[in-house]
Amino acid sequence: MASNTPENLKYTKEHEWVRVEGNRAVVGITDHAQRTLGDVVYVELPKVGDKFEASAPFGSIESVKAVSEAFSPVSGKVVKVNEELNSSPEDINADPYGDGWLIEIELSNSKELNELLSASQYQDYVKDSE
């Protein structure tokens, strides 16, 4: 089954997606990542105000199969965390690009967005790595 890969998002090789909204980036994991992980049972996320460099781990996602780190696609400060995931981590499986978002980051370097993959580049990457 092919992964759902919305065209309007940017992607990383670590399987995070980014939706840019002005100087902020909403971050989550891709449909491919959540299907690979299986049923998500717990999510550990940073606090609002925490700062991360691009590629740094910011939290973890625990599934019935494994624990995976989530990596920040961009540098910046966390301005919002999806608190709903504390009680409903399965939102990541049900709606990875909607209710299953993880964090929102205020960008410290918008040029980093140019380093991210387009939807078609990400699809090619996933296909090549399978």
How far apart, in whole angstroms, are the C-alpha atoms of residue 100 and residue 36? 15
* pTM attached to this predicted model: 0.95
> Per-residue pLDDT tens for 117-130?
999 999 999 998 87
Residue 84 DSSP label = H
For the chain, domain boundaries: 10-129
Question: Which token pair is 11?
Answer: 């992607």
Question: Which token pair is 119?
Answer: 């939807």
For the sheet containing 57-63, what is the strand order? 40-44, 57-63, 67-71
> Per-residue pLDDT tens for 105-118?
999 999 999 999 99
The domain defined by 10-129 carries CATH number 2.40.50.100: yes
Helix (H) or strand (E) holding 18: strand 16-21
The pLDDT score that the predictor gives to residue 1 is 42
